């Protein structure tokens, strides 16, 4: 194993505030099928899960075909909304995210990665919009893995980089991120500005309230 360290980030609710875009796309997907639009709390509570896992929970009364239609409708609506406005406008980075990522990227023994419930296409749009296409050395998305909290994405990040699990950390805003980290043997850092509250982040080793607190937390893990 390498002596390098690895910090893996969730995207929605951790790096970018995408709730307005998510809610607008969800509203279109449900209303286009004549279904009641789920509440903001219900939707944001499930952000981080893959769509094929999320939709049956949001529409438990619907059948499998409707769930599939909701998944495709959400994807189509997301793309439609993205063409009507820039991703940077509808999915802004959280305060100090860019500066903190740059600080971490400058550390020669620290690699950065992404593990997200987004699609490959969706992640690419976010990274391109915010000038982050060269920031992460390993990126894993919902297209090719089981939904969080399955550890598959983090296991792939470790495999890509050769970093040992005990020298890696997952940074995220949901219980699914914390559960995934623990399942893969990583440290878990919860962020308080995302879509799950502090009680739901109980499995985190540390919870931070400001992005700029992250470098010191990581130093505390590894010295």
List 3, 12, 76, 89, catalytic entry: 12
Please identify which of the residues 10, 17, 173, 177 carries the catalytic annotation.
10
Cα-based distances in Å from 222 to 76, 103, 182, 195, 204? 43, 17, 17, 28, 16
User: CA-based angle 92:94:95, to the nearest 5?
Assistant: 120
12 is catalytic: yes
CA distance 47 to 63: 21
The packing angle between helices 97-105 and 214-222, to 10°, is 30
Give the up-direction half-sphere exposure of residue 166: CA atoms within 13 A in the CB hemisphere.
3
Active site (annotated) includes residue 76: no
- Catalytically annotated residues: 10, 12
């Amino acid at each position: 194993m390498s002596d390098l360290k690895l910090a893996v980030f969730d995207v929605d609710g951790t790096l970018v505030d995408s709730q307005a875009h998510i809610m607008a796309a969800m509203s279109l997907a449900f209303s286009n099928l004549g279904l009641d639009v789920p509440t903001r709390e219900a939707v944001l509570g499930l952000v981080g899960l893959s769509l094929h896992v999320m939709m049956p929970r949001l529409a438990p009364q619907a059948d499998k075909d409707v769930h599939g239609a909701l998944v495709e409708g959400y994807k189509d609506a997301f793309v439609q909304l993205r063409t009507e406005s820039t991703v940077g406008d509808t999915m802004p980075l959280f305060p100090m995210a860019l500066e903190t990522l740059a600080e971490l990227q400058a550390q020669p023994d620290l690699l950065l990665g992404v593990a997200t419930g987004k699609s490959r296409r969706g992640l690419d749009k976010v990274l391109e919009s915010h000038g982050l296409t060269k920031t992460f050395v390993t990126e894993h998305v919902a297209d090719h893995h089981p939904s969080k909290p399955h550890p598959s994405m983090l296991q792939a990040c470790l495999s890509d980089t050769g970093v040992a699990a005990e020298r890696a950390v997952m940074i995220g805003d949901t219980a699914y991120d914390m559960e995934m980290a623990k399942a893969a043997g990583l440290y878990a850092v919860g962020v308080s500005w995302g879509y799950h509250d502090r009680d739901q982040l109980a499995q985190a080793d540390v919870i931070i309230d400001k992005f700029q607190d992250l470098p010191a937390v990581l130093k505390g893990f590894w010295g």
